[in-house]
Chain A
């Protein structure tokens, strides 16, 4: 008798659920669910991490989703820089937890795995944190949008600028996984194309403490430029220890191919000064970026946003616009809509998303200030040049993306 009762209640619930679903069939589960898949605890946690979760939440808040009749939920997960862990979370999110879009995902190894899973399941991957240009090249997907930056842009920006000012021979210190390999490859191409040579490279494991052996090899190579094709904590340690081994004093220069604001904060201006870096966002660019970054810093314990976190904000904002316009959260359809609509946000300005999933906007060549030039924490960059959007990223025709005919 009791069981019968329960069954009836259950059946009623199912019917009600179905009815509710039918009333709003377009947005799955009545909720737009955003999963921030990032590194919460290791070397990229300050580049993306909790700051990326905050940025996604700020975008939801600024979009005023409630007023537009959308219920948006943001959840987060830690991929621990392991593609298997990241894949497992992505599968669980998509299959069991009703996640509609995965955002951020620093670490190209994890991002490439999520790229494939998202495509198979017809969801959407809004990448800001990973760098590999393969995400919009040979591995491009109709369900992936690559927002902030990529290895081609970094190579072209920093690499190109350095070769033009006379840094002809290069030696690479490369992080031994998808990202490092892509960055080394893309930079080598730029170096060779502009008349330079690559004399050698050494590959170090991800998350290395001691770089002295590798730096010694770089020193012995006698290359003019030591290109750091690594990121986060690895870059910090490389730069710190290069100063110690007198590499810069000995006449060689360092090229930090991917350096974030948070890294400069960890290195200190005395060791980082003079570095040439390429980024697509800096908090002190204009009034809008300053206003947003101050709001961000107030909620993140005083930490200023990196370009990855800014990209999460802008990407989520554009995503929600597309969902609202379509009244659907179907991954494939939203991705197409996002490409169709021009982008406009306070952090990256006006831009577009290309057929290969590449978001295009200007990039900036920055120089790290001397300690005497800085007015305080996070006042670290001065702008050397602005690379216009159409030159900042790899031309559509050169990426070998099968979506582009």
Chain B
């Protein structure tokens, strides 16, 4: 294998890793602050891509509009779900939240499948991001470069908000002891609702990023979500930084596997997950 090809695969891995990072980040935020294992995440990512498609085909609003509008629209749908259903489960075991969100994912995906079939819908790339750079060792499409940069910025911004700002400190405090934080005059239930909405918005945003390069189809989320869960488990459930770093790192590992032994590229992440669970059950970045 030449070093050129190696660089190419590393870069590709980084691109896929940026999707893993963005999705696992949303999951980690939701789990870390709400203690809900959000199985609807894949469906919400799919919703993001579909809403982008609807904006384009029904309202004539292109990609850039979609980047701004879609996270809000899908995020609001998340807020409604949290208020109507998930909020009733906080006092119960994790398992109930998992079952509820899993059921919701199946319903949403089933409904879209019924309506739009499996072949998916076309979504074209914005003209400003078409084309590519010839890096010598590989051809890098402008769009992929954009995805890496954008997702890095989003991931770091989210990390910063949660770990380094006052709002973030409220959020973290509220997970530790909601009653105490509430007694300081902070509206904890609303904060939790908005956090869920924000996590869902992140998934939807990843969906918009995915629309021009992957198939916009009802099962696009379900094929990704399992990998993303593995990323979260490896990184440490609820660890924000852990999910970002692990997302990118596993993207690279997967990229290399696709080169050296492509048949295993679907399983390599789960092999790593099994090893991590045996050696360090709390995950690479998890505490306790």
Residues of chain A whose beta carbon lies under 8 Å from any beta carbon of chain B: 41-47, 49, 176, 202-205, 207-210, 212-214, 216-217, 219-220, 232-233, 236-237, 240-241, 244-246, 250, 262-263, 265-268, 270-271, 301, 303
Contacts and interface: CB of A to CB of B under 8 A. Distances in A.
A327 to B, nearest CB: 39
Given A240-B214, A240-B215, A217 B259 contact: yes
Contacts of B255: 213
Interface of B: 5, 8-9, 12-13, 15-16, 113, 115, 117-122, 124-125, 131-132, 138-139, 141, 143-144, 212-215, 217, 219-220, 223-224, 255, 258-259, 262-263, 265-266
A237 B118 contact: no
Contacts of A43: 118, 219
Given A212-B12, A268-B122, 16 more contacts: A203-B262, A203-B263, A205-B265, A209-B223, A209-B224, A213-B255, A216-B138, A220-B5, A240-B215, A241-B213, A244-B212, A262-B119, A266-B122, A267-B122, A270-B122, A271-B122
A214 B260 CA distance: 11
B217 A266 contact: yes
Interface residue SS majority, chain B: mixed
B215 A233 contact: yes
Given A205-B266, A209-B214, A219-B139, A46 B259 contact: no
Contact of B118 (A41, A220, A268): A41
A240 B219 contact: no
27 contacts: A41-B113, A42-B219, A43-B219, A45-B117, A46-B118, A46-B119, A205-B266, A208-B265, A213-B13, A213-B258, A213-B259, A213-B265, A216-B9, A217-B5, A220-B5, A233-B120, A240-B214, A244-B125, A244-B212, A246-B132, A246-B139, A250-B139, A262-B119, A266-B120, A267-B122, A270-B122, A301-B115
Contacts of A246: 131-132, 139, 141
A143 B138 CA distance: 51
Contacts of A265: 119, 122
A303 B122 CA distance: 15
A236 to B, nearest CB: 5
Contact of B214 (A205, A214, A237): A237
B263 A244 contact: no
Contact of B213 (A207, A214, A244, A270): A244
Nearest to A49: B118
